[in-house]
Structure formats: structure tokens, C-alpha cells
Amino acid sequence: MRRNWGNWGEFDAPRGSKSKKPVELKEIGEFGLISWIRGKMDLRDSNIASGIGDDAAVITPPKRCVSLVTTDILIEDTHFRLDYTDPLRLGKKALSINLSDIAAMGGTPQYFLLSMGLPLHLPFRWIEEFFHGVQQVAEEYNLSLIGGDTSLARKLTINVTLIGRGKAGEVIYRKGAQAGDQIMVTGTLGNAALGLRILKSHKGDSSISRAGDSDLAELIEKHFSPTSRIAEGRLIAKNHLASAMIDISDGLMADLGHILEESHAGAKIWISQLPLSEAYRRKAPQYISRDIDLAISGGEDYELLLTTPRKKGEKLLGLFRQSGLKITPIGEIVDPRYGLRLLLDDGREYTPRRKGHDHFKKPR
């Protein structure tokens, strides 16, 4: 049975009450919340023997498959600010960033667990909208919430663990890139980082995305609602088209760096080939001095970055064209002694101001 998410405010002030104060978490209680979540979320999979409501979830592993497991934590004031994040989009993002990791292995997502640290005075309506976002993504990708934990916290904290499946012979690792392989990337680069930059320059006022400038709206939306390239990952995996793959969460350079490290390889990237959106091309020069840098080092695009043996490159491009999906060759894997270099059209090397995101180090 589909649950009715349109039925907002079921925990709002009791009828007849004159209070206009929104209902807070402390009035619902921990077990009220868990029971509410359990009632809202569908189990979409007959392989779940037990989901929420026992000490551990019990799932029957798919036959002839490996399990893929990933986890990501989102913390208030580190990953998002409550004052300029809407809960629906944050709910979507909490799942999307994990989906992206399963996409990067070429897998199919199935189950997730959700831990939340919640401030006592959080309006219950915030939680309702957050779960509305979670459920939109769960529905789109046919995911089941099988467990979680809820706790009190000063800063809102969200941890998602996502479990998927893959066929052993199809899984794509970070290791495996070889000299001569083409480097390709899905979608476009830099939109999410530019969207965040724009938002910050407007002091977080996300209403600018509704002010009629469709470029601004597109860039800001990519920051708030990254897409997960599950379809692209599956297309690549089932046709055995990639020698290595990763999702771009910390920026092109940082994440290509991970592939190179695990594969013991070097790489050339052609700056002029980096796929940029029209919105990026038009807006980036207004917000940063070296307008390519966010496409090189900006995080959170959640596009797939992969290497493909040269003889498979044409087939890959053809399959993506047929499927209406976007992918762009941007460079080549070379000998590890070469390192990682970004090249301009005239052959000169380009050095961006910063290389990627490190949570514990200030950007240089």
C-alpha cells in the first residue's frame, strides 16, 4: 500500500488547540518517531525477512552476486546549513550521495539504513519533509529502508549506509586503469561547486534561485540535488566498458588522483575538453577569477569518472548516444612517472589554485 505523504501535519497542534506553535520532536518522542518512520516507509523487496523493528535487519543475499556497501555522514555546519537548506532536498541528497558510490562500482542499490542525530527543538514538520525527500529517492531507485538509529544531538547529523548488489565479474574498482586508456566523465563538471559559490555570495539566500535567472536556478539546484548516475554506471558495468571508475565527490583532480594511486598510473587531462554546462560558461566568470578552476577542483558533482581501454571507447560513446546519456572523453592514462597534469591546447601545463576538498585542512 502506498502511504500518503501528502498528509502533512498529522502531528501538528491538536484540533481545537489555540496553539500555533509547531510540534517539536520532544513532543513525539523517540519511539513515536520510529513508529512514524516505520509506518511511512515501504519495504520494496521480498528478500527482506525483517526490516525496521528488530535488533538487526535480516536480508536474504541475492544469488550469484556480491554485496556492495557504502556509508556517508552529513553533519550540520560541515555539509549543510539549516538556515539555507530545505529538508526535502537534504533528504534526497543524503541518499543520492550514497547512490553515487554504488553507481561508481557499477552496482544496483537495494537497501539503506539511516541514523539521525536530531536537535530537541527541531520542528516535526522538518522531519516530515526530510523523509518526504528520502522517500522520493527510495521510490525512484526502488530502495527499502531496513534499519537505523535515532538520537539526540546538538547539530543535526545524518548517516546513511547503503547496500547494493553487483555481479562479481561486472564490479568496477578504482584500480585497473592502464596506460593508453581514455579518461571519460559523465554529465558536466563544476555546476555544484559554482552553485554553492553563488549561494555563499548571496549569503545563503536561496530565493535567488527563484528570481527568474534560469542559469542561477540550475547551478544552485545541482548543489542541493545532485543526481546519481546509476543508469550510466549499470550501462558501463554490464557491457564491461571501464577499467576503473569513481564518483566525483571531492573534485575531478582529487578523485582522479585516487584512481591513479590505486592503479599506479599517471594521467593527462585536456582542459579544453572538460564538459561545462551553458549555465556554467555564462556565470562562472562573474563569480571566480579563473573560471575553469571549479570544474577542476570543485566537489559534489557526483558525476562518474572512468577509464576505458582505447578499443572500447567508441562502443561506449555509441551506447551512451543511443541511451541519450552524456559522457565526454577528457584525457588519457599514461605512465605513473608522468604524474597528473592538466594541459592547455598549446601544450602548456595548467595549475589550479587548489586541488580538492580535505575536511581537516583549509583550502590553500
Among positions 72-131, residues that touch a second copy (CB under 8 A) are: 72-73, 75, 77-79, 100-102, 104-105, 107, 111, 113, 115-118, 120
Type of residue at 350: Y
Q: How many CB atoms lie within 10 A of CB 354?
A: 16
Mapped onto helix, strand or coil, the DSSP state of residue 115 is strand
Bridge partners of 340, per DSSP, are 267
Is 154 near a second copy (CB under 8 A)? yes
Is 299 near a second copy (CB under 8 A)? no
Is 262 near a second copy (CB under 8 A)? yes
Residue from the set 30, 42, 215, 221 that interacts with a second copy by CB under 8 A:
30
Q: How many residues bind a second copy (CB under 8 A)?
A: 75
Type of residue at 274: L
Kindly tell me which of 306 and 327 has the beta carbon lying closer to a second copy.
Answer: 306
Nearest to 244 by CA among 181, 174, 305, 303: 174
Kindly tell me which of 282 and 357 has the beta carbon lying closer to a second copy.
Answer: 357
Dihedral-angle region of residue 56 (phi above 0 means left; psi in -120 to 50 means alpha; beta otherwise) = beta
Stretch that binds a second copy, among 30-38, 321-329, 333-341, 342-350 (CB under 8 A): 30-38
User: On the CB side of 84, how many CA atoms lie within 13 Å of its CA?
Assistant: 21
CB of 186 to a second copy, least distance (A): 14
CB of 46 to a second copy, least distance (A): 13
Dihedral-angle region of residue 20 (phi above 0 means left; psi in -120 to 50 means alpha; beta otherwise) = alpha
Beta strands at 144-152 and 108-118: parallel, antiparallel or unpaired: parallel
Which contacts qualify for 200-205: CB closer than 8 Å, 24 or more apart?
Answer: 201/287, 204/81, 204/83, 204/84, 205/84
Q: Which three cell numbers, joined as nine digits, stand for 314? A: 567508441
Kindly tell me which of 241 and 279 has the beta carbon lying closer to a second copy.
Answer: 241
Q: Are 92 and 222 in contact (CB under 8 A)?
A: no
* Residues written for the chain: 364
Is 26 near a second copy (CB under 8 A)? yes
Kindly tell me which of 161 and 277 has the beta carbon lying closer to a second copy.
Answer: 161
Residue from the set 85, 96, 108, 159 that interacts with a second copy by CB under 8 A:
159
Stretch that binds a second copy, among 15-23, 67-75, 193-201, 222-230 (CB under 8 A): 67-75
Kindly tell me which of 66 and 325 has the beta carbon lying closer to a second copy.
Answer: 66
What is the rounded distance in angstroms from the CA atom of residue 312 to the CA atom of residue 299?
A: 28
| Region 35-54 residues binding a second copy, contact defined as CB under 8 A | 49-50, 53-54
Is 156 near a second copy (CB under 8 A)? no
Kindly tell me which of 257 and 266 has the beta carbon lying closer to a second copy.
Answer: 257
Residue from the set 13, 43, 69, 82 that interacts with a second copy by CB under 8 A:
69
| Region 237-256 residues binding a second copy, contact defined as CB under 8 A | 245-247
CB of 16 to a second copy, least distance (A): 24
Residue from the set 17, 337, 348, 360 that interacts with a second copy by CB under 8 A:
360
Q: Are 299 and 356 in contact (CB under 8 A)?
A: yes
Residue from the set 55, 83, 345, 346 that interacts with a second copy by CB under 8 A:
55
Stretch that binds a second copy, among 36-44, 66-74, 183-191, 286-294 (CB under 8 A): 66-74
CB of 71 to a second copy, least distance (A): 4
Task: Collect all residues with Cβ–Cβ distance below 8 Å to 311 and sequence separation of at least 6.
Answer: none
Residue from the set 23, 41, 52, 57 that interacts with a second copy by CB under 8 A:
57
CB of 63 to a second copy, least distance (A): 9
CB of 129 to a second copy, least distance (A): 18
DSSP one-letter string for 277-341? -HHHHHHHHHH-SSTTHHHHH------EEEEE-HHHHHHHHHHHHHHT--EEEEEEEE-GGG-EE
